[in-house]
């Protein structure tokens, strides 16, 4: 069985991008593969050092994953900080990661620009910790959104460097979306991607109430519409079509596409339709999340069960790693 690994930071409420970029595939993969899915609570500290909300955020991410259809009996659903071997592998991989390549990472440059007062070494070595999470289970498939593509390439580089220097331990890990292009769910203001911790008014959260969803969708950027048939689509209109393709029925998408091509589209109608389809998509996830996110006992049991499975796999890998490096000399 191929091994699958992926994670989500506990930086806030999950959104449509997390669902279509990551969780949807977790659910699709859980029957067939050996799966490890974690809440990346240590990664969270790179940008969110204040831990007042940490526990409730971790609970929320767990509950939202389960509400989306993830079955904690079938996969290992755990917290990153509960698997101590992660820190050991991270330390070792740091010796195989070069300062220059870390500084060139797009996410590092973006986060450094957004948080100029806290450009810490953890932020710089974020891709190394991520590589440790993946390599710890010797995973080869990593369901993630498009924003993670570069990190996966770095994971392969670190793993390959290890294999060259110390002997073959790690398989190559690839970003996975069932052979399709990786997903990027755009934010509603047309600038960048939906995100947990940035751009909150342009992001649709899986916890948003019906009316808030409607309000956000109706505010999405549009214009007066095309005046001639078959006009090329501006980015922000393309984004609305992209969102519609995710949640609306194919014939609805087709109707608005042909309206656009005939220069007869009414964006108000299109957004109203999108808003209703979005409400219907998000509501059951929100309601299910609400029913479990405060059940501490249940969530604790899930975390313990997940950590146990993850530690077993991590311990086996670390034995191989120590052996290969020559750390078992004593």
Q: Which residues are catalytic?
A: 111, 193, 196
Distance of closest approach, residue 253 Cβ to ligand ATP, in angstroms: 19
**Nearest Cα to 175, choosing from 136, 206, 131, 132?**
131
Q: Binding string to ligand ATP for residues 156 to 185, with x set by CB under 6 A, is what?
A: ---------------------------xxx
In the complex with ligand ATP, the residue whose CB is nearer, 204 or 265, is 204
Distance of closest approach, residue 185 Cβ to ligand ATP, in angstroms: 4
Distance of closest approach, residue 323 Cβ to ligand ATP, in angstroms: 32
Q: Binding string to ligand ATP for residues 182 to 201, with x set by CB under 6 A, is what?
A: -xxx-------xxxxxx---
Can you tell me which of 21, 127, 159, 306 binds ligand ATP, judged by CB under 6 A?
21
Q: Is 165 exposed, middle or buried (0-12, 13-18, 19+ CB in 10 A)?
A: exposed
**Residue 10 annotated as binding?**
yes
Total residues at interface with ligand ATP (CB under 6 A): 22
In the complex with ligand ATP, the residue whose CB is nearer, 148 or 273, is 148
In the complex with ligand ATP, the residue whose CB is nearer, 9 or 293, is 9
**Residue 184 annotated as binding?**
no
Stretch that binds ligand ATP, among 16-24, 77-85, 117-125, 257-265 (CB under 6 A): 16-24
Can you tell me which of 57, 125, 148, 313 binds ligand ATP, judged by CB under 6 A?
148
In the complex with ligand ATP, the residue whose CB is nearer, 6 or 155, is 6
Interface residues with ligand ATP (CB under 6 A)? 6, 8-9, 11, 17-18, 20-22, 144-145, 147-148, 183-185, 193-198
Q: Report the binding-site residues for L-tryptophan.
A: 133
């Amino acid at each position: 069985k191929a091994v699958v690994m992926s994670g989500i930071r506990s930086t806030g409420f999950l959104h449509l991008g997390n669902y279509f970029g990551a969780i949807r595939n977790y659910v699709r993969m859980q029957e067939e593969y050996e799966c490890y899915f974690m809440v990346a609570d240590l990664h969270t500290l790179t940008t969110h050092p204040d831990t007042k909300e940490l526990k409730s955020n971790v609970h929320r991410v767990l509950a939202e994953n389960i509400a989306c259809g993830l079955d904690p009996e079938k996969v290992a659903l755990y917290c990153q900080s509960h698997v101590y071997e992660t820190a050991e592998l991270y330390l070792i991989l740091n010796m195989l990661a070069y300062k220059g390549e870390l500084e060139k990472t797009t996410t590092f440059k973006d986060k450094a620009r957004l948080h100029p007062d806290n450009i810490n070494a953890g932020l710089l070595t974020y891709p190394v910790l991520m590589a440790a999470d993946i390599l710890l289970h010797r995973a080869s498939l990593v369901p993630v959104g498009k924003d993670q593509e570069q990190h996966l390439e770095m994971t392969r580089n670190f793993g390959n460097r290890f294999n060259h220097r110390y002997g073959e331990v790690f398989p190559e890990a690839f970003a996975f979306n069932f052979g399709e292009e990786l997903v990027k769910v755009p934010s509603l203001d047309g600038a960048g991607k939906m995100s947990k911790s940035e751009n909150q008014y342009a992001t649709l959260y899986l916890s948003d109430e019906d009316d808030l969803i409607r309000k956000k969708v109706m505010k999405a950027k549009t214009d007066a519409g095309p005046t001639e048939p078959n006009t090329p689509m501006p980015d922000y209109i393309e984004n609305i079509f992209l969102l519609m393709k995710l949640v609306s029925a194919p014939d609805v998408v087709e109707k608005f596409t042909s309206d656009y091509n005939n220069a007869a589209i009414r964006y108000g109608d299109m957004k109203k339709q999108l808003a209703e389809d979005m409400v219907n998509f998000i509501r059951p996830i929100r309601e299910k999340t609400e029913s479990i996110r405060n059940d501490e006992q249940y969530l604790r049991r899930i975390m313990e069960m997940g950590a146990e499975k993850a530690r077993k796999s991590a311990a086996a890998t670390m034995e191989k790693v120590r052996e290969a490096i020559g750390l078992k000399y004593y």
